[in-house]
Amino acid sequence: MDDWPGIDFAAARERLRGVVERTPLAPFPSGDPRIELRLKLECLQVAGAFKARGAWNQVASLPAAARRAGVVATSSGNHAGALAWAAQRAGVPCTVFMPADAYPNKVAACRERGARVELRPSREEAEAACAAAVAAGATLVHPYDAERTLEGAGTVALEVLEQWPEVEVLVCPVGGGGLIGGCALAAWRERAARAAAGRPPLRVLGVEPAGAPSMTRGLAAGRPVKLERIDTRVQGLCPLDSGALPIAVAARCVDRILTLPDEPILAAQSRLVRESGWTVEPAGAAAPALVLAGALPPGLLVGRTPERPLRVAAVVSGGNPDPAQLAGLLESEEAET
């Protein structure tokens, strides 16, 4: 039984057609001959992140009155930038509330796209200011806890399935849960078609920073759980909590959520930039890091050989790093070598 009949991926694909990019699925060395790895390069997406899919899907779905009222959101960066882009394209007023520690380049990108940026000392205060704006009549475009957001994000998985029908595992980074929720539900709905084609269901794994395990906590509790402490440098994957809708979807459709320390995520970011030339932010490297750090669940590799590798796609979710962070990371790795 499908508990989310209001989520229509086909309608989302039509709204997104010709507006966002169909991003490449590029091979990348996994470091293990038993694993064939391909990366879904949402770092090359409009506005530099997969968030453009959900932002446009939401804005394009708004009735006229909601458009006139203007849109608002709280975000540390990529959703804010994507919403600013979508609102500018649609001619809709936009205000984003961002914590003061947001990357300066992401703040600047929002302003360049015509959004009003309101900085607050903390994520909690940004959320409170956004809630006040909604109470005053603005339209909230939620970064992860909304059906239209999951619809847009789920088109990532649909493209992966088309680009690589033999794919067996999809790995997504996890913050609020919009990306993995949309991708997991889209893959879950495709299971019958895959079975008819003689292919197993697509397994979906999530990766979140060990210092911000909001989805892990939410799944254990069966509801959003606000983190008392956030201790990660992987900005973009550290909301106060994961959304109620993504948690409900993940409980049914996600195979497993895993956590990684910051170090392998940042190492993966450095490797992707050095070896490919792609611009990748820390959050964008979390899913590939699970493979590159050798942290896939061991059971997935039982019986796998170079002749029969496990086919894994990982979503590189964003390409908007803080220039200073990226330069410092590359310099530190050069010093170590």
The answer to whether 37 and 291 have CB atoms below 8 angstroms apart is yes
Domains 9-49+146-336 and 52-140 share a fold: yes
Where are the domains positioned within the chain? 9-49+146-336, 52-140
Pick the CATH number of 9-49+146-336 from 1.10.167.10, 3.40.50.460, 3.40.50.1100, 1.10.20.10: 3.40.50.1100
Predicted confidence (pLDDT) at residue 207 exceeds the cutoff of 70 = yes
Name which of 141, 154, 145 is nearest 42 in CA terms.
Answer: 154
Q: Quick one: pLDDT at residue 77?
A: 86
Written out in words, the top-level CATH class of the domain with range 52-140 is alpha beta
Mean pLDDT, the chain, integer: 95
pLDDT level of residue 194 (50, 70, 90 thresholds): very high
State how far the Cα of 169 lies from the Cα of 175, in Å rounded to an integer.
Answer: 19
- Element at 40 (helix H, strand E): strand 35-41
Contacts 24+ apart (CB under 8 A), 162-168: 163/25, 164/25, 164/38, 164/311, 164/313, 165/197, 165/199, 166/199, 166/311, 167/38, 167/202, 167/311, 167/312, 167/313, 168/200, 168/202, 168/203, 168/310, 168/311, 168/312
Distance in angstroms between the alpha carbons of the first and the last residue of the chain = 54
pLDDT level of residue 76 (50, 70, 90 thresholds): confident
The 10s digit of each residue's pLDDT in 217-264 is: 999 999 999 999 999 999 889 998 999 999 999 999 999 999 999 999
State how far the Cα of 75 lies from the Cα of 91, in Å rounded to an integer.
Answer: 21
Q: What pTM, to 2 d.p., does this model score?
A: 0.95
Q: Quick one: pLDDT at residue 278?
A: 95
Q: Quick one: pLDDT at residue 334?
A: 67
Q: Quick one: pLDDT at residue 181?
A: 98
In terms of C-beta density within 10 A (0-12 exposed, 13-18 middle, 19 or more buried), how is residue 161 classed? buried
Name which of 228, 207, 240, 40 is nearest 123 in CA terms.
Answer: 240
Q: Quick one: pLDDT at residue 235?
A: 87
Name which of 57, 71, 50, 62 is nearest 17 in CA terms.
Answer: 57
The 10s digit of each residue's pLDDT in 82-130 is: 999 999 999 999 999 999 988 899 999 999 999 999 999 998 999 999 9
